[in-house]
Structure 1
Amino acid sequence: MKLQIVHINSERGSEPYFEMFNRTMERVKRPDTELLHRWAKLRRATDVVYAYPYLLNGVAVLHELTEAAETEDIDGAMMACTGDPGLVEARSLLDVPVVGPWEATLHTAATYGYKFGVITVQEKGWQEYCHSLVVKYGLEGRCAGLVGIDISSYDAFSRGFTEPDFVVEEVAKQAQRLVDMGASAIAVGSAGLSTIIADAGLNRVPGVDVPIFDALTVGVKTLEMRVDLTQKAGLPVMGRSGLYTRFEPEEAKRVRYQCGF
């Protein structure tokens, strides 16, 4: 199967990140799964900890997904961002399964423990956004707590991709903190942090059987399952009777033109 992944960081300058990402995906994806890559317009992933660039980047992600669905023979699509930018809109436009890695990870974590905890970046704005999605996805009552790492995003996502040990140690420390708060599963609410810990093999809290989920792995594996459920079990791509009612391609082109895209 061919899965389209849209990244929120630029292709150039992010080589260490993609090396880590590709190593993880080669390890976890099915042998017959091919990942296709596109990149949104922003040049700094750290921009999206702010609401305005996050909104604009969500539109860019959505347009990349839409163009891929129109021009490539893809079986499914995912945005490589734990803010799930453009998820609802993409599901209304694309006629293939679309997975938001954060939605998938939160629901997966909830099947591993009655209470899960969330680790994300240091910036308060993104912490609150991650929590707002916990609420949006109906899992607030299952969340034992949300904590940020004690490292700036600048340090974590620059030096952390070439010297990852200090980031891995910090995530492990915060995971133990969440276990002490009552969490039996940990969800990492950052694509960058997810990539670093997955490449390092940090998949459980040291010394205790509490899983730590990197969102991109869960997203891709969930997308593989969703494609199988459509292609092999005959289930529809989405439930089209409500929020994800199909917005037909010709109407989408009209709206894009009217809005100057």
Structure 2
Amino acid sequence: MMATAENGSRIWYQSFTDPAVDAPYFDRLTRRVQGLAGPGFSIDVHGMQPGDRHLHRLSEMRCSVQAVRNAVAAQEQGYEAFVVGHFQEPGLFEARAAVDIPVIGLGEATMLHACSLGRKIALVTISPVFVAFHEEQIARHGLQHRVVAVRAVESQVADYNRAFTDPETYQRLKQDFSRQSAPLLELGVDVVIPAGGYPMLLFARERSFTIGGAMVLDGLPVTVLAAEVAARLKHLNGTGTSRTPGFALPSAAALQEFVQSP
């Protein structure tokens, strides 16, 4: 029987970072995400070893397999929802087809909420490498007419880790982000999304953050609350992933083969 929020509902938040290698970020992410939990909910933040560290499709694919296996583990351990806490969210659809608990993607949840805040949305990612990834992601979610542009700052993970405690580095990254966002305003963009956990966490200190009137949307609370809503709806009336052929649950044999494969 599914636990209700009143009895204590657990959410598994899956980061694609290594808790040891990326400790400055992972520790702050854990405190931030756990602090967003509503009454009756608790959130466990999990990482990966190794994390997604090579800015390449092969790393994304490797991590996506681990994420789906962890979604299966989360369901077996009684979690009420699973969050793919990587903006590109590789493995999102596969995880939804693997488990019967809600699976929420950081990128999808943020972009969908942005659609309720403005007419045109844009992403600013942490590296030019990810621009093509996000353009494919936007098309996968059918949001091409709402998410109209993707830009990138030239940054490294080390820059964000340093910016958490160094005001000068923080201001430089904020200025770089604002500089990349400025041309988006000429396109009529209403909402700018920092496309990644690192910039979202970094800019969380800015309340009502805007650039030229455009809202800069922090997707972390959006995604946590989306997971809570999905868990509540699942308990309330059984609302869940459609089980038409595209998201049909696997047979026991197919699931076992996937989980046990090297």
Q: Report the TM-score range of the alignment, normalised by the length of the smaller protein.
A: 0.7 to 0.9
Cα RMSD of the aligned pairs, angstroms, is: 2.1
Q: Any stretches of 5+ residues in structure 2 without a counterpart? A: 1-8
Q: Which residue of 1 aligns with 2:185?
A: 179
Aligned pair count reads 251
CA 1:136–1:162 in 2, change beyond 3 Å: closer, same or farther? same
Q: Which residue of 1 aligns with 2:131?
A: 127
Q: Is the counterpart of residue 68 in structure 1 residue 74 in structure 2?
A: yes
Pairing of 1:206-245 with structure 2 (within 5 A): 206=211, 208=213, 210-232=214-236, 234-245=237-248
**Secondary structure, in 3 states, of the residue corresponding to 2:222?**
helix
- Aligned-pair distance for 1:207? 5.5
CA 1:33–1:168 in 2, change beyond 3 Å: closer, same or farther? farther
Deviates more, 1:109-118 or 1:247-256: 247-256
Q: Which residue of 1 aligns with 2:28?
A: 20
Q: Any stretches of 5+ residues in structure 1 without a counterpart? A: none
Q: Which residue of 2 aligns with 1:4?
A: 12
Q: Which residue of 1 aligns with 2:249?
A: 246
| AA aligned opposite 2:149 | G
CA 1:38–1:28 in 2, change beyond 3 Å: closer, same or farther? closer
Q: Which residue of 1 aligns with 2:110?
A: 105
CA 1:52–1:143 in 2, change beyond 3 Å: closer, same or farther? same
Q: Is the counterpart of residue 39 in structure 1 residue 47 in structure 2?
A: yes
Q: Which residue of 2 aligns with 1:50?
A: 56
Checking the alignment, whether the CA contact within 8 Å between 2:53 and 2:59 is kept in structure 1 is: no
Could you tell me the percent identity over the aligned residues?
Answer: 18
The CA deviation string for residues 103-141 of structure 1, in whole angstroms up to 9 with x for no partner, is 111111112111111110123x31110111111111111
CA 1:203–1:29 in 2, change beyond 3 Å: closer, same or farther? farther
- Aligned-pair distance for 1:237? 1.9
| AA aligned opposite 1:40 | M
Q: Which residue of 2 aligns with 1:162?
A: 165
Checking the alignment, whether the CA contact within 8 Å between 1:9 and 1:40 is kept in structure 2 is: yes
Q: Distance in 2 between matches of 1:31 and 1:169?
A: 37
Checking the alignment, whether the CA contact within 8 Å between 2:25 and 2:161 is kept in structure 1 is: no
CA 1:217–1:249 in 2, change beyond 3 Å: closer, same or farther? farther
CA 1:90–1:107 in 2, change beyond 3 Å: closer, same or farther? same
**Secondary structure, in 3 states, of the residue corresponding to 1:211?**
strand
- Aligned-pair distance for 1:196? 1.1
Q: Which residue of 2 aligns with 1:137?
A: 141
- Selected match of 2:97 from 92, 97, 101: 92
In the superposition, the TM-score normalised over structure 1's length comes to 0.87
- Aligned-pair distance for 1:189? 1.4
Checking the alignment, whether the CA contact within 8 Å between 2:98 and 2:250 is kept in structure 1 is: yes
- Aligned-pair distance for 1:27? 4.6
Checking the alignment, whether the CA contact within 8 Å between 2:17 and 2:26 is kept in structure 1 is: no
- Aligned-pair distance for 1:229? 1.4
| AA aligned opposite 1:162 | T
**Secondary structure, in 3 states, of the residue corresponding to 1:167?**
helix
- Selected match of 1:192 from 184, 187, 198: 198
Q: Distance in 1 between matches of 2:68 and 2:61?
A: 11
In the superposition, the TM-score normalised over structure 2's length comes to 0.87
Q: Which residue of 1 aligns with 2:5?
A: none
**Secondary structure, in 3 states, of the residue corresponding to 1:107?**
helix
Checking the alignment, whether the CA contact within 8 Å between 1:76 and 1:96 is kept in structure 2 is: yes
